[in-house]
Structure 1
Amino acid sequence: MIIDKNINPERDLYYLGGLLIDVLSKKKSSEIDYLELYRLFNQKQNVTINLYSLTLDWLFISGIITKGENGKIKKCF
């Protein structure tokens, strides 16, 4: 869910998107492998691969990331 009335924000896409942006901003290269990013993200916040994929979808729709070369994730900031 994008915004939820739960008391657990660690499952909201806004919150997870912010954490993922933080992980991406610490990478010097503009492109990163899908599973490598998942591994780095999971060190910060333990999430399922499905929730990780939904978070990537949210960032893609928002224009923060795009598809890079060879299926990698490219940051647009």
Structure 2
Amino acid sequence: MIIDKNINPERDLYYLGGKLIEVLSKKKSSEIDYLELYGLFNKKENVSINLYSLTLDWLFVSGAITKGQNGKIKKCF
């Protein structure tokens, strides 16, 4: 969920989106592979691939990331 009743705020997309942006900002390259990013993010937050995908969707809709070349994820910041 984007926002819930704060039972588990560490599972909200706002929170996870911020944490994923932190991981992306540490990468020097503007593009990163989907599974490589998942590995880095999962070490930090221990999330399922489904929740990771929803977080990427959230960042895409908000304009923080876009589709790069060869299916990679491109950061827009």
Give the TM-score, by structure 1 length. Answer: 0.98
Q: Partner amino acid for 1:52?
A: Y
Runs of 4+ in 1 over 6 A off after TM superposition: none
Percent identity of equivalent pairs: 88
Q: Partner amino acid for 2:5?
A: K
What is the aligned partner in structure 2 of residue 66 from structure 1? 66
Matched residue count: 77
* Correspondence list, 1:1-77, <5 A: 1-77=1-77
CA–CA separation in structure 1 for the residues paired with 2:53 and 2:2? 13
Unpaired segments of 5 or more residues in structure 2? none
Give the TM-score, by structure 2 length. Answer: 0.98
Q: Secondary structure at the match of 1:74?
A: strand
